[in-house]
């Protein structure tokens, strides 16, 4: 099966590598074209533009940073829209808002193409090991056609109905995750400041009802101030922003998420946006009497 892949950041690189290792023919494109070279060593071909990739491949997947990037790759010169037509499918796996996804869907389908949004839950390591959770919505036929690829990329895929539902589900999940990371960071700081050993806190949390892979995986590194990026903080803040907008539209009061967003914004303003989202711990640690 030949697949196009647009966007070779932390996630896109791991996902396209996985497809290659599992026997897919993959043609890759990245805005910074030099990032394609590593994939070429594993058998990928390069497309010079998104349009060239779509021209060559029946299915093209995108994994891009944010709504602006997702729109640019489709609508700008040499973009996806120039070559999409009937018989071709476009799958956007980036985390964006439902409006962005719908705009892309309308443009693709108006040219006869099929569209699926399929954001993922799971970070760098699940992307490397094919353990993502895929939240698909849109064209059911394209979803079924994409299952061989989704089986390589993820441990489970959900089909959630009409375009927008995948984006909304992803934003709800990440809104919860961002709020949890803030509560966890506050707990670590509170334990240290009140004279407890925060490593004891990690052990205790891991044995109780709120044990989870995020606390277990990130806690020890956070205590060493190691925030090597798996999920960049700037993307988590984007997801909080988009989730809060969804809350606005639906008149859902979200004071916890709003406060978490403020912490992520503060961390971004202090230059921590490219670190892992766990770096929000650093700004909470800084606040003193
Ligand atoms: N990292 C994670 O743990 C997870 C991330 N996600 C989501 O997946 C998406 C990708 O995340 P991740 O791989 O971590 O992000 P990265 O920041 O590592 O990569 C972003 C990618 O988007 C490209 N890009 C950015 N702006 C533009 C633009 N204007 N035009 C074209 N390409 C652009 C970058 O190209 P260039 O190399 O040229 O900068 C790069 O390929 C995001 O939506 C994120 O929220 C979802 C689940 C987990
Ligand atoms: O979007 C990030 C994730 O870990 O999921």
Residues of the chain with CATH 3.40.50.720: 2-162
Contacts (Cβ under 8 Å, ≥6 apart) of 63 = 5, 6, 7, 9, 11, 12, 15, 93, 94
Beta bridge partners of 4: 27, 60
Instruction: Supply the pLDDT for residue 71.
Output: 98
Residues of the chain with CATH 1.10.1040.10: 168-286
**Ligand 2, pocket-test mutation among 120, 131, 135, 155, most atoms within 8 A of CB:** 120
Beta bridge partners of 61: 5, 91
Q: Which CATH superfamily is domain 2-162 in?
A: NAD(P)-binding Rossmann-like Domain (3.40.50.720)
Give, using CA atoms, the residue closest to atom 35 of ligand 1: 31
ipTM exceeding the 0.95 mark: yes
pLDDT digits (tens, 9 = 90+) for 9-25: 999 999 999 999 999 99
pLDDT digits (tens, 9 = 90+) for 189-211: 999 999 999 999 999 999 999 99
The response to whether residue 123 sits with its C-beta less than 6 Å from ligand 2 reads yes
The residue ranking higher by pLDDT, 10 or 288, is 10
What are the φ and ψ backbone dihedral angles of 153, each rounded to 5 degrees? -80, -30
Closest CA to 63 of 27, 16, 18, 24: 16
With residue 196 as reference, give the H or E element that holds it: none
Catalytic residue IDs: 170
The response to whether residue 121 sits with its C-beta less than 6 Å from ligand 2 reads yes
Q: Would you call 224 helix, strand, or coil by DSSP?
A: coil
Report the pocket of ligand 1 as residue ranges, CB < 6 Å. 7-12, 30-32, 35, 63-66, 68-69, 72-73, 94-95, 120, 123-124, 230-232, 235
Q: What CATH number was assigned to the domain covering residues 168-286?
A: 1.10.1040.10
Beta bridge partners of 211: none
Return the ligand 2 atom nearest residue 122 CA: 5
Instruction: Supply the pLDDT for residue 85.
Output: 97
Q: What is the mean pLDDT of the chain?
A: 97
Instruction: Supply the pLDDT for residue 2.
Output: 86
Whether residue 288 has pLDDT greater than 80: no
């Amino acid at each position: 099966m030949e697949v196009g892949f647009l966007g070779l950041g932390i996630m896109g690189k791991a996902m396209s590598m996985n497809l290659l290792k599992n026997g897919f023919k993959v043609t890759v494109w990245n805005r910074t074209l030099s990032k394609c070279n590593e994939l070429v060593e594993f058998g990928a071909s390069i497309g010079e533009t998104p349009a060239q990739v779509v021209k060559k491949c029946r299915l093209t997947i995108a994994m891009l940073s944010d709504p602006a990037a997702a729109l640019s790759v489709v609508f700008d010169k040499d973009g996806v829209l120039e070559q999409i037509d009937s018989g071709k499918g476009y799958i956007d796996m980036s985390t964006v808002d439902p409006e962005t996804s719908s705009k892309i869907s309308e443009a693709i389908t108006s040219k006869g193409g099929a569209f699926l949004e399929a954001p993922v839950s799971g970070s760098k390591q699940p992307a490397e090991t094919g353990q993502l959770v895929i939240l698909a919505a849109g064209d059911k036929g394209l979803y079924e056609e994409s299952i061989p690829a989704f089986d390589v990329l993820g441990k489970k895929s959900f089909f959630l109905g009409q375009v927008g539902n995948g984006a909304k589900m992803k934003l709800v999940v990440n809104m919860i995750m961002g709020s949890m990371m803030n509560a966890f960071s506050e707990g670590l700081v509170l334990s240290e400041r009140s004279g407890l050993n925060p490593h004891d806190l990690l052990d205790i949390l891991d044995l109780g009802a709120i044990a989870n892979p995020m606390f277990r995986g990130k806690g020890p590194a956070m205590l060493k101030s190691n925030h090597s990026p798996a999920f960049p903080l700037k993307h988590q803040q984007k997801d909080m922003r988009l989730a809060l907008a969804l809350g606005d539209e639906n008149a859902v009061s979200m004071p916890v998420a709003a406060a978490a967003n403020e912490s992520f914004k503060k961390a971004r303003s202090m230059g921590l946006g490219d670190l892992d989202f766990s770096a929000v711990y650093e700004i909470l640690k800084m606040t003193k009497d």
